[in-house]
Amino acid sequence: MTVLKAVMAPARGEYAGGFREIDVYDLPGECTGAVTGLYLTGDVDQEYLAEQRRMLDSFVARGGRIVVNGHVQRVFLDGLTRWRKLEFRNPRDLALTRVTEHPVWAGTDPKSFLYNTGTRGPVPFAELERIGVAGFYGRGCYPDLPEHARVVHTIGRTRAPIDYDYPLGAGRVLVHGGNDLLQFATADRGTARLYPQLLRWLEGNDG
């Protein structure tokens, strides 16, 4: 089985920790029957993906899985909805609440995603509240959800959905409304397990 990570920059096609990186413009030729999952980074060309909508819909409908990162503005898959910016004034407006357990985030604490800091190594949450900057995980939401969507996290006091997945044919689509999820799989945060769990999900081995 193969899991593709589609990026905007020229890629070498090498396997990195289970992912085979490809240029998004090579996707039609690379998305073969051996591919089980596709990870779309947040900066991919959505105009181009919209042109490939029939291929992407078919890939998921036959049992494939796709992770969509970032701010969807062009609908390139059945069921996708558009991202909206969230009004926020302080970290409480950006805090995550886990609504549903999901195999990708299993064993992680939603609080661990809230702050970024230049300090190396693990930092206690109380210290992160003092020195950290909130909002890197996400600053927006998906208020309109497709049928049978499963909300994983909501954001802020309005409890607007930021992470959700939904079925499409025999496959599933997972949407994260912020910076690439893989950026948050670090030992310092205590979230290193996010990486292998996301990979297993794309391989079709979990939920």
CATH 3.40.50 corresponds to the domain 2-202: yes
Question: Which two structure tokens, joined as six digits, stand for 201?
Answer: 């999900």
pLDDT digits (tens, 9 = 90+) for 14-38: 555 678 899 999 999 988 888 999 9
Q: What pLDDT, on the 0 to 100 scale, is given for residue 131?
A: 47
pTM of the prediction? 0.89
Average pLDDT over residues 50-62: 96
DSSP symbol at 73:
-
Question: How many whole angstroms separate alpha carbon 2 and alpha carbon 35?
Answer: 5
Instruction: Tell me the domain boundaries of the chain.
Output: 2-202
Q: What pLDDT, on the 0 to 100 scale, is given for residue 14?
A: 53
pLDDT digits (tens, 9 = 90+) for 160-203: 999 999 999 999 999 999 999 999 998 888 899 999 999 999 99
pLDDT tops 90 at residue 40: yes
